[in-house]
Structure 1
Amino acid sequence: MTVHPQHMLYYFLKHLSILDHSSLSVIVPQSIDSSLAGRGYISCDQFMLQVFFFTTLAWSEVAILTVMLYDYYVAICLPLH
């Protein structure tokens, strides 16, 4: 079964949108909770957990963008392979 190149594009875009949504969901809920509760701070453990998840999601996004770039390179430079 061959995969149509356009379907690969949608596959990568779907995963990029999921990663964008996930990176927002790491930071925004804690920010809203702190604002509504009147606190202007979070604990060090919460901060480190947010930083870990945010950087992990950011590196995942970079990896997907790199794979997309390589896919475009192959499609343009090696169209018949």
Structure 2
Amino acid sequence: MAFERDGIGHEEIRPGHSGLLAVGTLACPHCDAPVSPGDRALTLREYVSCPYCGHTGVVRDFLSLATPVRPAVVEIRLRGLS
């Protein structure tokens, strides 16, 4: 892991080979309610449902990478193909 300081109190941390691609929000595309992935990792093609309005769709339709990130924060990681 590399650390750099810019002299005014900011610190840049660059993890090596973590597989982390982005941080985003998992929320319903219809009503914007947060959606929890539960205890396990989900693929972009798995189906999830909104706990508020019942809308169902694939994870990629519920995923937002826009900033600022809202309360239902998720990490998007690259996993090896096997």
TM-score range, shorter chain: under 0.3
The structure where helix makes up a greater share of residues is 1
Higher Cα Rg, which structure? 1
Return the TM-score normalized by structure 2: 0.26
Return the TM-score normalized by structure 1: 0.26
